[in-house]
A and B are shown apart, each in its own frame.
Chain A
């Protein structure tokens, strides 16, 4: 098999069969490594690459030379017994360091040996488990803001704001370090000149090559003129020219500005440039020495050989351990590229095996983050409780108060008539209009009653009297109910009065009405709400679970798997969707069980029908999440689309509180086609009305139709290539 590798590392390139050297989109030379060395008359690939560059590129390049360190005797960094434990794991084990002012101090070791952790402890980003460290004569204290002004830190990964331009990043950091506003433009200009950023001033960092981005990072770390720079692998992934340029800048800072530089690296030629180096392995410092002295002491030919000697002494690696594999020990552990099946269905338009491998991968992702699945299951159960009991459509305990200007037994009797009902709760009486106004405006009273003076007298004389009632109309649903109650009770009181006075039965009407409240004879909220809450939860939770699945890969970069493997968009999406459908069905089982056992809302109809409806519905809701995930670029946006695309229709347009047929305008149209309305009909039909498939098939068709629509939409919107 042929393998094509792109790299900026020359020692890696050294081992390949055949090389293509490229710069700025043009091929510089091709050939075996030996041929390239021969053609340029150089002894290392680094030098060969530089020699191959066009003159314009090479101009200004000079081989890195390091003037000797003038020892001032001051100590910039001092650490004794520095230790970091994460649980049982000892990441850094009693490290001692002493770095002189103006020194370039190198920190060498494989990935994961504790370099970054040590550096973070020194900057105060991580509190040490044990041991002391001091910077510039002051103990490291995460709360000590003053020390931070004297230190510049550049982390391993690019960590500047990609949403700000180069210039904005520089200015922001200068301001965050509280530089005097008047001096900032000059300082930023100086940085731009020194680090050669003039041409990219208004560019966004993501559009720049790595070399320039690292230069920007260094400029930002230097913008506040620190006395100490802590650089965590600043040159990884950067090509030789850019790397040497960065070194030139650092040497300039160290020798001319007396900036102490503490740098970690895994490049041997960089290690050789440091004044002193420490070799770290498995959390411990093996040796600290001047590079040349190290080589001499081991009697090795190169620094690399010397290191391997030390590492073997320390028990690392075994037979056949190459230098690179020791220093760059397997960073990509657990890389999750799904295995693409070969053979028969490799070219099929839809290969179940490929979809299955994505399904397994997504399942693994879910397993690795058990909190999310637990939240989904437990969370829905809790929400079911909250809404089942919390959302009550019975309007009760309405507050009212009386402005009784009559104060007779009759008027008191009228008020008693209201307060005696279970719908109303009486508040202290009102004394005048101003108070009535104030208390109603504050929302304390849902209803205010005014009984005029002379009420009892006029009533006894048979004069027409009028009782005033004000209903708080701020919440129309409640107001209508209050209005209905008050009218009913007023009629009842009149009838009662007439009976008492005349001793006669209330006049019977010409006809009566026998009202049958079907499906929910007691007109209780719970049996009506529980079947309505299930669709809402089965829409929102699965949609949110899947909403980030694709866009997250876009934001964090692993979407490249989709771009470079023969997997089709439908295999990719359906494979991802499957585990979430299973999870959502589990959710459905929990909800149904809760409804039957805890809430006592039995499944009167066909459970099979309900399950089939739920299955279709969760395929839709997980599909909606995928849909939100395919056309957005950021996780926030996807989350937002999933939220507003499900919450508002589910609560307001799907018929949970008001039947869809009563809605108006666009809301009505949405309610008609939105699958949640149809599943709501199925859920209520099975739970409350005892129906099976035949009674509900009209709701099944739109639901079944929505599934392919949302899936096809997601597949179409997902791009197979990077834009």
Chain B
């Protein structure tokens, strides 16, 4: 039976050691304020300032009109370039889209010959290529039709589609970006703090000392879990309230406390993972490598950069074992969609289960390897 007072005392010791490392304190403060602000405000909307160029071989009023259809924020003001500059510009990545309006375009349109405009798309920029090209088509065809009919027809369609975006009506990226950044940082920080704290004790020989005392491995582990978890949880709460709600003015639909409860469960899993990694690594450099190898997939495949459902099925299944997947899901549900515990209980359950499994595995491994650490 773990001794609560021991866990508490050892945890306080961890807090002291963090408090006496000013570089770490500055770094933690930075990641949960400036870093979140920068990442959130940098994220563009899907079609934002897309660089476009136009080759106007026609030089007619119609082609000029097409040129004026593109303006910020969706597009950067179009560059008028010559035919030979297309390849160089696209090769260098200066433009995602290049429209080539052929000679005699206006004449052919008016003569009803249905001429074709060429649209070059840099398809390596997947995120803009797809949405952007259909958007460009709509704009160009709209201008042409308007030119032909002399007015923009509000064509009364027999069935109207009332399309609304819920939870983020204007689809503002900073809402999404800031919260996902918090989730990323929570994961990153908790794994590194706990894992490195254990390795440091080993490299400084203090683990050996602890083991000669009436302290069990479970107590050592739990003390690191609670203390580092608490630090990260507090930092996340501060970031959520002051940076996200305060500075970025992102409206939060659900209960912040429910989100933090979810974060606490998530931290239980990630801090256990950090300890487990520290028992695998024999030195800090090894731990550093391991951290990169594990953190990258944890973050990129959790569904907070690209949607989960478009990943291959195998990846989706494997990532169900990762705490980040569930944390991202519950974070999105609570913070954006105002979901309550009746909706997100499956994620809570999954996080608790993953945490329990990670903790048990880590504790077993910690117990087994502890004599090598001393």
Contact = CB atoms under 8 A, between A and B. Distances in A.
A612 interface: no
B339 A510 contact: no
Interface stretch (A67-75, A281-289, A368-376, A568-576): A368-376
A518 B129 CA distance: 10
B296 A494 contact: no
B10 A442 contact: no
A126 B112 contact: no
Contacts of A127: 371
A668 B307 CA distance: 24
Interface string A145-188: 11011010101011111111000100011011110000000000
Nearest to A455: B159
A515 interface: yes
A684 interface: yes
Contacts of B121: 515-518
Contacts of B49: 661-662
B116 A664 contact: no
B92 interface: yes
B171 A473 contact: yes
A177 B163 contact: no
B337 interface: yes
Contact of B160 (A168, A466, A549): A466
A635 B374 CA distance: 20
A5 interface: no
A108 interface: no
Q: Give the size range of B's interface with the partner.
A: 35 or more
Contact of B164 (A464, A469, A514): A469
Contact of A148 (B48, B193, B214, B295): B214
Nearest to A462: B158
Interface stretch (A25-33, A54-62, A379-387): A379-387
A662 B300 CA distance: 21
A544 B118 contact: no
A639 interface: yes
A584 interface: no
B162 to A, nearest CB: 5
B161 A467 contact: yes
Interface string B198-213: 0010011110111111
B269 interface: no
A266 interface: no
A519 to B, nearest CB: 5
Given A386-B301, A476-B45, A541-B289, A528 B164 contact: no
Q: Nearest 9 A-B pairs (CB), nearest first?
A: A667-B42, A473-B168, A473-B165, A520-B123, A393-B126, A163-B17, A153-B212, A517-B123, A474-B336
Given A172-B13, A396-B310, A685 B289 contact: no
Contact of A145 (B51, B140, B176, B216): B216
B160 A528 contact: no
A618 to B, nearest CB: 15
A527 B124 contact: yes
12 contacts: A125-B211, A464-B156, A471-B163, A471-B164, A480-B45, A486-B161, A513-B137, A541-B292, A556-B203, A662-B128, A667-B39, A696-B92
Nearest to B105: A511
B115 interface: yes
Given A396-B309, A510-B114, 19 more contacts: A125-B211, A145-B214, A153-B209, A159-B205, A375-B293, A379-B293, A441-B337, A487-B161, A488-B134, A509-B145, A510-B148, A511-B144, A548-B285, A640-B192, A652-B43, A658-B43, A662-B44, A662-B48, A688-B124
Given A513-B119, A521-B123, A176 B205 contact: no
B369 interface: no
A299 interface: no
Contacts of B171: 473, 476, 479-480
Contacts of A481: 46, 130-131
A691 interface: yes
Contacts of B300: 387, 390-391, 651
A161 B214 CA distance: 17
B286 A636 contact: no
